[in-house]
Amino acid sequence: MKSSAIIVNTSRGGVIKQDALVQALKTNQIRGAGLDVMTPEPLPCDHVLTTLPNCTLVPHIGSAETQTREDMATLCSANLLAGLEGKPMPSQLC
């Protein structure tokens, strides 16, 4: 990446090699990072990423939109009701 790059991760914490990111931020190989996801979550308060001035951490706010939360609640309710009725869950993960 260019030294002027700012990397943003809103997908999964494991997508970015966090140790390599820390090194790149410390040595100014990249300009900055914005992370909505980290490994582990939540990060310990003393994690090095919390101390870097060129790193912004936000607490998984990508799903905080009202419509998204309503859809999540609807999905959860449908799965719960199906499970209670002994039926297959409509949104089963595994």
- Which are the catalytic amino acids? 60
**Number of Cβ within a 10 Å radius of residue 68:** 11
Region of 78 on the Ramachandran plot (φ > 0 left; ψ -120 to 50 alpha; else beta): alpha
Query: Would strands 55-57 and 32-35 be described as parallel, antiparallel, or unpaired?
Result: parallel
